[in-house]
Every structure is written in structure tokens, then in C-alpha cells.
Structure 1
Amino acid sequence: MSTPTTTPAPTATLLDSRSDPRTPRTQWTPLMITAGAIEETFRALEDGDPDVRGRREALIVHPQAPAGVRGLAPATQVALGVLLPGEQTVTTRDNTTGLGMCLAGEGVLAVGERTMRLTQQDVWTKPTMSLETIRNEGTAPYHYIRYSNAALLESISAFYEDYGGRAAADAEPAPTSGARAKDLAPAIPLGEDGSQLLPYEHLIDPDYVEDLPLHFPWSAVGQHLSGVLGLTTGYTGRPLYVLYNPATGRLNGTTPSFFATITAVGGRFDGGTHRHMSSAINYHFAGRGYSIVEGERFDWGPGDLMLSAPGWAAHAHRIGEEGARILTVQDHPLHTSTGSLVWQEDIENGEILALGAQAGFETNLATFGSR
């Protein structure tokens, strides 16, 4: 029998907090990916070969992303994908949560037990560890953009993926007694402040909320946009709706990590300058306007994708005369869940709050009537 070898442990670096009490925060720069660059990427993907998962995808990686972290924002990975007519991906699953939007063509997405037929501007969600297969049953290429928390998981070395397929997942579950492990070991109160001791059974059998794959068809979403189209400059909020997933509860998310919103403006709208610790990525699928980020102007039009609000960057958006339709994805729920969603609505004189841990801001919606 061979003798196991030991590898010397790396030497840790010790920092004296008296000389360096806080780690400096590096703010990522705004980044614009034009509609032309996106179309060129789609053409290159169509001309190339699928990867080992049967996918034709390209990741959009910010130049400030650390080595091994493939994100457009620190916690957000963004991919452009194509499936040619008749193609189907390999069935996979991973521990990311995410969402996507159909940009062109039609796709059929099987996530867990649900199958969705997606057309242009439809949005869908993918829960963690759900088996996923995409196919193109149409006659034109299927184009999509997808967002996931893979960048965050890569940054903490926690990304997991396998190719087990449906056979393993559909195997007959092991018989159970019907009792939950946590019920066999009650919590032990320690004091009047709510502190408790939890036995191990609580760690391996936590309460959970079922997160189902969701489909937000544009044909239905578009019918309800009149509630925000009438909001004009002077409204202190934003003319948008959240694509809400009830499984996220108070996080007000589309997934546990992200919200996706649809901004709909009928004409010119000037939003106030504000900032928040969550990063915002805008896909402009109709209309024109510009954004001011840390004093720099970025003009955008249909098909442009932009990291428009790196965390804590002061920014404002101006919508042109023709109005606009914008899909915005922010890692807002992730920050809410960790108590780190620091937000300032009025960059000049407004207070700074931790949303979800403190009471939030008010708007003047009453002046404009209810939605």
C-alpha cells in the first residue's frame, strides 16, 4: 500500500487592521455592447460549432472581471446564445438561478417538468438544479440572451454543473417516514432576545419555498403596460413593472439573485440621478435615449446592451421623444437577502438607506393617480 503524501499548506497573509481597516472597493466602469456587436456575435455563433453541451453561446465578460470570473457585472454572467433550426442542447443542470429573453426566432425550453414555447421578448426563469434542454423546432435561428448568478458562484469557487440527464433525476425516490428531520430535534431557546440553538437536523432539512420555472410572455406583459406609459417627467419613481416570482417573497425578485423589470415609456422621460449598490444591466429593445453615469454620457438605441449602473455609480436615464422599452436586470434581491442593498434616491440631498433592512423611500405616485 502506498503512503499518502501531504502537501504543505500555503502560508496565510496576516494584515494588521490598524494600518488597513477596510478593503478598498473598486467600482467597475460602465460598458456598452452595441446592437451591431451583438448581431456580429450571433453571426459568428451561427457559423461556428456547438460546444460539448450542444450550445452556441458567447459570454460577455467585463475587462475588470477577475481571472476565472466570467461576468459582465461582479455577480452577473450574461450570455448570448443561438440554436439553428433542428438543433437541441444536451440536458444539463447546475446550481445557478437565472432568466433569459428571446431576441429572435422561436425556442422550446424544457426546465424541470415544464416546457415553454418562447417567442420574441418573452422572458423565462430557470431555478437552481433544474434539468434544462433547449431546442429549435422552427425554420429560423433562435437567438436569446440569458443572465445567471454564475459569475458570483465562480468568484467563490462554488459553481456546479453535471450532465446526468433525466434518467437519474426521474429515478424512484427513496421511501421516507413522512416526518421531517428538523421536527425530531426542536430548537432550544436561549433568551428573550430570540437567540436559539439549532440541532444539525435543521441544517440539513431547512424550510424551503418551491421555485418553479416561470414564463412571462410578451403577449401578456404588453397588455398591462398602460399602467406605466402615462407616467411622465416629474414622477419620482420609475415607469416600470417587475417580472415578479412569488417564490422570492419580500426580495421582490424574478429569481433569488435578480429582478428583471420592463420599463415602458410613451414619450420623453427624465429620471433623477440616484445610486445603489446593486449593479444594473439594461437591454434596450425599443426606443432611444441616453444615460449619464458618473458624469459620462452614453447614447443608446434598439438592440444595445449596457452595464448602465455599476454598483454605487451615480446615474440617470433620459428617454427620447419616441419612448422606449427596456429590460433591466439587477442583483437587487441578492443584496436585499444579505442586508447590503445600500440605496440613495436623491444623489444631492437624499438619505442613504439599506433597503429591506430599513423602511424604504416614497414616491409621488398619488399626484399621477394610481396605476
Structure 2
Amino acid sequence: MTRHDIYREEIAGRANVVDTPERVAYYEALARKGVGALWTVANKIEPWEPVSHSVPMIWRYRDLREDVLRALDLVTPEEAGRRVIYLENPGRRDVVAAVGWIYAGLQVMRAGERASAHRHSASAIRFIMEGTGAYTIVDGHKMTLGVNDFVLTPNGTWHEHAVEETGSVCIWQDGLDIPLVNAIEANFYEVHPDLAQPVVHPVDDMAARWGNPGLLPGGGAWEKAYSPLFKYEWARTLEALHRAAAAGQHSDFDGVLLDYVNPVTGGPVMPTMGASMQMLRPGEAAKAHRHTGSALYQVCKGSGHSIIGGRRFDWSERDIFCVPSWVWHEHANASDSEEAVLFCLHDLPVMRALGLYREEALAENDGHQPPG
């Protein structure tokens, strides 16, 4: 006999209904009509606090790089559409997510290769990991890309990725909100009728127009929900981190943290996904906190470790690791002489827009988790 009282709690105000033969017969009769008794599932669907199905984990670049490169000889961009090895979280296999509602993968292309132009309802980012000559075209705007550059391909925009003939093999991290858009049943996908789009603007024009600190182009109207600054350059970002550190900016939980923003609104780069870059100074061990919303980190520089949900994960350059929603986490720099820099892709814009963002600092043990 199927039990219907497995979620009951002997706490005032919570569902606490014990199965009886009469009640079970009633539940079965309801089920035949496509309905059910709320009290049999209320405690399941309304937990006391967020319960993430994602598990903390790390994808080490040294373990994956050869497998990513092997795809070059196994499948062409024309066959695959996008030659990507995706990151799979054991708790999110059903939605193909790396963490929470965020999909991620490592895409690889040879010099001279070009993937077909397409667009979709999902928003996407690219973060360049290695190689030279990579570029992306978004709605006719071409962006040249270098290592640690961060580029947007917002939802609904025609976009394509390629590597110049004079370049080298390139690998970059893709990040998309595909699981979220699929969950709300709103995903569309289109292939460009010509498989490619023309470049109709000067190369890197969006960075030239919109990427000047404290300045906006005169007469430049931008009313779209995503940032017009499609490319965020690594050199400028690292310089900004150093300037912020010199000015005394610091967080107990994240070291020196800067958010990538839409220069028009000051808000997140896209409505469903945000990104940040943080620097841990030599020897720094940040304190633990937790928040709603999922995060996917990539190590841009340095080495160290993170304790996530009581488990220690040691990381080095190009490793990727995830922090599920409402899980304690803290980061530490392993070097006493060099800085460590972490890129973070997250879904906090969704949490904040829906009024669901909550953050909490760990009060015990001087703010640090005991490593597991």
C-alpha cells in the first residue's frame, strides 16, 4: 500500500495527518480524478528552508582538457551545431544543469572554424579559457575575444562563434539559463536562414561606445533588458579589482568583489543571470555565508580552496566549481605572495527580481566551517 503520510511533521502548524484505511481510500479516489489532498504533500513542497537538489562539486580542467580537445577529431561544428562538453551535476541530470537552473559547458573550436548563427529564448554567456583569435558576432556586432574576457549573447539575439584563420585552438566556458527557460516552458530555438550573419558595425564597437567608465554615449538610446556592453575585457576588470583593493574595498565573505553591470541601468548584465569577479589577496581566507541562488565559479588566476557545505575543494587555474543555493561556502587563497581571482556566474538577478534573495553569515567558529 502506498503511504501518504511520509511527509507529516509533529509540529503545530504543519501537516500531521496519519494514514488510515479510510483516508487512503479517499486519496486514491481523488487521484483517479486528477486531484489530491494538500496535507499529504504540503510539508514536501513548502520546506522550512531551501533544499537544493544540486550537489557541490568541482570540474578540474587538467582532467577535462584532453577530453575536450578530443572532440575536435570526433565531430565537426556542422554536425554538432555547437561542439561542447557539458558539465553535469549528479543532482540535476534530469534538466542538464551544472547547478540549480544554470547550464554550462566547455566549447572548443579550431582556427578557421565557424559555428552556424542561431538564436534562442535562453540567455547565454561565454568566458574565454584559452587560445587566440576567438570572436563572437551578436546581432551584427563583432567582438574579438581574449583569455578571461566575458561576453554576452542575450536571449533573442542572433549570434555565432568562430576562430580566425590566424588564431589557435580556443576553449571557452558557455553558461546559459536553459534549465530555467525550459522549466517555465518558454524556450524557442532558430537557426539563421543563411547560417551566418553579416558584420554591419565596426569591430568591437559596443565596447568602444558603452565600455567607458562613468560615461554613456550622447544620444545613445538603449531600452533593451540586457546590457549593450556585450564584451567585458579581462585587462580592465583586473585593473578595476586592483584599484578597488587599493581604495580599501573589501568583503569578509568575498574579498574584493566587483559585479559586471549594465552601464545603462547599473543593474545585472541580463535579467536572468549575473556575473562577478572577485580577488582574494595573498593568504586571505574569507568567512562563510550562504544565500539563495546558485553560483558557478571559474578560477581565472591563482590557487586555493573552497569549503562548500562542509566539504573542501582544492582548486587551481581554470577549474570550475559550483555552490548550490542556500549552502554554506567560503574561499581561501593558497598563496602568501600571489592573488587569486575567481569569475562567478549566478542566478541572483532572478532571486532579487522575485523578492526571494536572502543571505546569512555563519555565526559559529569565527565564521568558518570545519573542513570535511
CA separation of 1:13 and 1:316: change in aligned 2, threshold 3 A: farther
Give how far 1:327 is off: 0.6
Counterpart position of 2:216: none
Q: 2:332 aligns with which of 318, 321, 324?
A: 318
| Residue type at the aligned position of 1:312 | W
Counterpart position of 2:352: 336
Give how far 1:235 is off: 4.3
Residue 185 of structure 2 aligns to a residue whose secondary structure is coil
| Residue type at the aligned position of 2:184 | I
State yes or no: 1:282 paired with 2:309: no
Conserved? CA contact 1:94–1:161, under 8 Å: yes
Deviations 1:81-121 (A, max 9, x none): 01111111111110111211111122121011311000111
| Residue type at the aligned position of 1:219 | A
Counterpart position of 1:369: none
Q: How many angstroms apart in 2 are the aligned matches of 1:263 and 1:282?
A: 10
Counterpart position of 2:179: 151
Q: How many angstroms apart in 2 are the aligned matches of 1:277 and 1:122?
A: 27
Mapping 1:227-246, distance limit 5 Å: 227-230=243-246, 235=252, 238-246=255-263
Conserved? CA contact 2:52–2:326, under 8 Å: no
Conserved? CA contact 1:27–1:311, under 8 Å: no
State yes or no: 1:162 paired with 2:190: yes
Counterpart position of 2:320: 305
State yes or no: 1:20 paired with 2:38: no
State yes or no: 1:141 paired with 2:169: yes
Conserved? CA contact 2:301–2:317, under 8 Å: yes
Q: TM-score, normalised by structure 1?
A: 0.73
Mapping 1:38-187, distance limit 5 Å: 38-51=64-77, 52=79, 54-67=81-94, 69-105=95-131, 106-137=133-164, 138-165=166-193
Counterpart position of 1:262: 277
Give how far 1:266 is off: 3.3
Give how far 1:345 is off: 3.0
Conserved? CA contact 2:124–2:152, under 8 Å: yes
Q: How many angstroms apart in 1 are the aligned matches of 2:144 and 2:268?
A: 23
Counterpart position of 1:224: 240
CA separation of 1:227 and 1:347: change in aligned 2, threshold 3 A: farther
Deviations 1:286-313 (A, max 9, x none): 1111111121111111121101x21001
CA separation of 1:262 and 1:209: change in aligned 2, threshold 3 A: closer
Q: How many angstroms apart in 2 are the aligned matches of 1:257 and 1:144?
A: 21
RMSD of aligned alpha carbons: 2.9
Count how many residue pairs are aligned between Structure 1 and Structure 2: 301
Q: How many angstroms apart in 2 are the aligned matches of 1:167 and 1:90?
A: 5
| Residue type at the aligned position of 1:256 | P
Give how far 1:236 is off: 6.0
Q: How many angstroms apart in 2 are the aligned matches of 1:93 and 1:222?
A: 31
- Indicate the structure with greater helix content: 2
Q: How many angstroms apart in 2 are the aligned matches of 1:148 and 1:64?
A: 18
Where does the alignment leave 5 or more consecutive residues of structure 1 unmatched? 1-9, 171-206, 350-371
Q: How many angstroms apart in 2 are the aligned matches of 1:209 and 1:254?
A: 9
Q: How many angstroms apart in 1 are the aligned matches of 2:33 and 2:134?
A: 50
Q: How many angstroms apart in 2 are the aligned matches of 1:287 and 1:240?
A: 16
Residue 297 of structure 1 aligns to a residue whose secondary structure is strand
Conserved? CA contact 1:109–1:132, under 8 Å: yes
CA separation of 1:56 and 1:310: change in aligned 2, threshold 3 A: same
Where does the alignment leave 5 or more consecutive residues of structure 2 unmatched? 1-30, 199-222, 366-372
CA separation of 1:90 and 1:274: change in aligned 2, threshold 3 A: same
Q: How many angstroms apart in 2 are the aligned matches of 1:314 and 1:168?
A: 45
Q: How many angstroms apart in 1 are the aligned matches of 2:41 and 2:144?
A: 54
Q: How many angstroms apart in 2 are the aligned matches of 1:133 and 1:169?
A: 8
Percent pairwise identity: 19
Deviations 1:265-285 (A, max 9, x none): 331212111101111111012
Give how far 1:33 is off: 0.4
Q: How many angstroms apart in 1 are the aligned matches of 2:305 and 2:326?
A: 19
CA separation of 1:79 and 1:291: change in aligned 2, threshold 3 A: same
CA separation of 1:128 and 1:233: change in aligned 2, threshold 3 A: closer
Q: How many angstroms apart in 2 are the aligned matches of 1:164 and 1:232?
A: 45
CA separation of 1:135 and 1:228: change in aligned 2, threshold 3 A: same
Q: How many angstroms apart in 1 are the aligned matches of 2:117 and 2:124?
A: 16
Counterpart position of 1:357: none
Conserved? CA contact 2:253–2:288, under 8 Å: no
